[in-house]
């Protein structure tokens, strides 16, 4: 077990105090991070006591502490999963060589790019969610939002540690730039598309934590296989925290569906659930379509020489590379995928290494489907005949093969013009947004109370009751 130091400015298990120069550099970055948090973090709640989980070690039977804390006092720490002695690179051209403890010179730029891209998503999502507290459906949900936010902040710390520790001056410059870009800003946007999209109501928040945080899970799984050992160890621990974010999304959507179905069975229901203050299932489907397709884009192009190079050089593997694959070079193998030839879909073999983005996306889609199946079970359990569906991976894409064409959720190709004309059959319209906004004009701060459009959860956090005061709102 690595030693944990929790009484310094920056809690860590990386023996930070033994490297004074690094410690000083991170201690200088810390106030800039806090300034960013105060400016771009949850607006209107910085003085509240929030019942939060804080990582204090990487010990599998007790890595977290739960307590009421004010968010600016949260102890953002640097924690890497314990080192596996003798770990070897598990795939690609360097397979079988000892994992790298320092950055290999020839892969320095690629590695930095991978780390910066991952890092950039962490503060971006906090920015996207910064106003949501003001319309929270309950204290329970408010706490979950803030839990996700502070942990995305810690993920930023995790990546910034790598940049400072292993990339010298350009790493420090990248760490500064991470606090300067802003989600949705036209001059200095965040790096990836989905992280510049507005996430301004709770249905989007839950869809985001279900679909977009799950992209994060798959990226982290691929990076956890990395031959660069510090990156592997960092991402392995981040995955532990990430699970809760996806829980928030999955159960959040499930509770909205549950409430909608209850309202649809109410004696006063006359065919229009909106009239009863619920979110109708077709509108939920549209938000699913939106956040799922935006998240599919995050995996990158279907055929990608960058992805091939990341794999070849041992920087980014497949999810569960060691557990689920028997052959780890991915050479002389083909992956059959649909491509566009003269405007039509054709099945073609692609060199497996070039298809690594698609391979990762495949695993993601299966994982998403599991959640959607659970949602459908809730609908079915109410005896209502409606099924939510993941749209085709061709639908509403901005990256890769299908970014040049339109497609229906069933995957039939359309011209871009026709797609634009029919867009609101499948994606939220302004009216849909207005309706949802109208449901979420006021926050619910009363203990144990929930907004009308969402069902309470079956149980609270960490064995506490649902009506626990998760946030003491100042
Ligand atoms: Fe994260
Ligand atoms: Fe997350």
Displacement of CA 155 from its chain's centroid (Å): 11
Q: Which residue has the tokens 């510090």?
A: 230
Examine the pLDDT at 409 and tell me if it is beyond 80.
yes
Has residue 7 been placed in a domain? no
DSSP state of 332: S
Distance 316 CA to ligand 1 centre (A): 17
pLDDT digits (tens, 9 = 90+) for 167-191: 999 999 999 999 999 999 999 999 9
Percent over 90 (pLDDT), the chain = 96
CB-based contacts of 466, cutoff 8 Å, min separation 6: 140, 448, 456, 457, 459, 460
Has residue 6 been placed in a domain? no
Has residue 179 been placed in a domain? yes
pLDDT number for residue 55 = 93
Say which CATH number the domain at 346 has.
Answer: 1.10.620.20
pLDDT number for residue 1 = 58
Has residue 183 been placed in a domain? yes
Examine the pLDDT at 2 and tell me if it is beyond 70.
no
Examine the pLDDT at 193 and tell me if it is beyond 80.
yes
Ligand sitting nearest the alpha carbon of 214: 2
Backbone angles phi, psi at 318, to 5 degrees: -95, 160
Distance 86 CA to ligand 2 centre (A): 30
- Taking alpha carbons only, the member of 471, 361, 380 closest to residue 138 is 471
The total number of structural domains that make up the chain: 1
Band the pLDDT of 330: cuts 50, 70, 90. very high
Q: How far is CA 12 from CA 158, 280, 436, in A?
A: 10, 46, 42
Distance 117 CA to ligand 2 centre (A): 14
Has residue 246 been placed in a domain? yes
Distance 193 CA to ligand 1 centre (A): 16
Which value, to the nearest 10 degrees, does the dihedral of the CA atoms of residues 39, 218, 312, 329 take? 170
Q: What is the pTM of this model?
A: 0.97
Band the pLDDT of 474: cuts 50, 70, 90. confident
pLDDT number for residue 5 = 85
Has residue 5 been placed in a domain? no
- Taking alpha carbons only, the member of 253, 291, 256 closest to residue 277 is 256
pLDDT number for residue 8 = 86
Asked if 66 and 55 count as a contact pair (C-beta separation under 8 A), the reply is no
Has residue 139 been placed in a domain? yes
Distance 332 CA to ligand 1 centre (A): 35
Distance 257 CA to ligand 2 centre (A): 22
Look up residue 110 and give its two tokens: 């690629």
Band the pLDDT of 62: cuts 50, 70, 90. confident
- On the CB side of 10, CA atoms within 13 Å amount to 26
- Length of the chain as a residue count: 474
- Angle of CA points 127, 240, 110, to nearest 5°: 65
Distance 269 CA to ligand 1 centre (A): 41
pLDDT digits (tens, 9 = 90+) for 366-381: 999 999 999 999 999 9
Has residue 346 been placed in a domain? yes
Band the pLDDT of 391: cuts 50, 70, 90. very high
Distance 370 CA to ligand 1 centre (A): 21
Enclosing domain of residue 415: 16-472
pLDDT number for residue 6 = 81
pLDDT digits (tens, 9 = 90+) for 40-60: 999 999 999 999 999 999 988
Instruction: Output the average pLDDT for the chain.
Output: 97
pLDDT digits (tens, 9 = 90+) for 76-94: 999 999 999 999 999 999 9
Distance 383 CA to ligand 2 centre (A): 33
Q: Which residue has the tokens 């079988």?
A: 96
Examine the pLDDT at 206 and tell me if it is beyond 70.
yes
Examine the pLDDT at 280 and tell me if it is beyond 70.
yes
Q: Which long-range contacts (CB under 8 A, 24 or more apart) does 22-31 make?
A: 22/164, 22/165, 25/164, 25/172, 26/78, 26/160, 26/161, 26/164, 29/160, 29/164, 29/172, 29/175, 29/176
């Amino acid at each position: 077990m690595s030693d944990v130091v929790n009484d310094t400015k920056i809690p860590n298990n990386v023996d930070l105090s033994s490297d004074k120069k690094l410690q000083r550099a991170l201690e200088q970055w810390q106030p800039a991070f806090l300034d960013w948090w105060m400016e771009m973090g949850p607006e209107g709640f910085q003085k509240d006591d929030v019942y939060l989980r804080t990582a204090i070690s990487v010990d599998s039977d007790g890595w977290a502490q739960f307590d009421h804390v004010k968010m600016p006092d949260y102890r953002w720490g640097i924690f890497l999963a314990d080192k596996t002695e003798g770990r070897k690179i598990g795939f690609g051209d360097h397979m079988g060589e000892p994992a790298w403890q320092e950055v290999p010179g020839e892969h320095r730029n690629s590695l930095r790019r991978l780390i910066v891209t991952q890092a950039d998503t962490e503060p971006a999502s906090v920015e996207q969610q910064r106003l949501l507290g003001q319309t929270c459906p309950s204290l329970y949900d408010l706490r979950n939002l803030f839990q996700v936010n502070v942990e995305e902040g810690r993920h930023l710390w995790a990546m910034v540690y790598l940049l400072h520790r292993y990339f010298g001056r350009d790493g420090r410059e990248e760490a500064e730039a991470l606090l300067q870009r802003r989600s949705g800003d036209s001059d200095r946007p965040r790096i990836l598309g989905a992280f510049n999209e507005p996430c301004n109501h709770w249905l989007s928040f839950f869809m985001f934590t279900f679909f977009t945080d799950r992209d994060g899970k798959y990226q982290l799984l691929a990076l956890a296989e990395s031959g660069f050992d510090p990156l592997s160890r960092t991402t392995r621990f981040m995955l532990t925290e990430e699970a809760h974010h996806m829980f928030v999304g999955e159960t959040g959507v499930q509770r909205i569906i549950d409430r909608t179905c209850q309202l649809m069975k109410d004696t006063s229901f006359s065919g229009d659930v909106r009239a009863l203050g619920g979110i109708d299932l077709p509108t939920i489907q549209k938000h699913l379509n939106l956040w799922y397709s935006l998240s599919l884009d995050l995996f990158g192009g279907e055929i990608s020489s960058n992805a091939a190079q990341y794999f070849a050089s041992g920087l980014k593997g497949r999810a569960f590379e060691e557990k689920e694959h028997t052959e780890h070079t991915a050479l002389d193998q083909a992956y059959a995928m649909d491509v566009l030839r003269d405007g039509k879909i054709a099945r073609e073999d692609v060199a497996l290494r070039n298809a690594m983005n698609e391979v990762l996306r495949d695993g993601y889609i299966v994982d998403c489907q599991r959640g959607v199946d659970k949602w459908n079970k809730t609908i079915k359990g109410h005896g209502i005949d409606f099924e939510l569906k993941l749209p085709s991976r061709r639908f509403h894409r901005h990256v890769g093969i299908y970014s040049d064409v339109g497609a229906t959720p069933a995957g039939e190709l359309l011209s871009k013009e026709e797609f634009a004309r029919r867009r609101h059959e499948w994606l939220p319209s302004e009216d849909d947004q207005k309706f949802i906004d109208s449901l979420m004009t006021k926050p619910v701060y009363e203990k144990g109370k929930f907004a009308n459009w969402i069902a309470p959860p079956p149980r609270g956090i960490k064995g506490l009751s649902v009506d626990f005061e998760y946030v003491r709102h100042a």
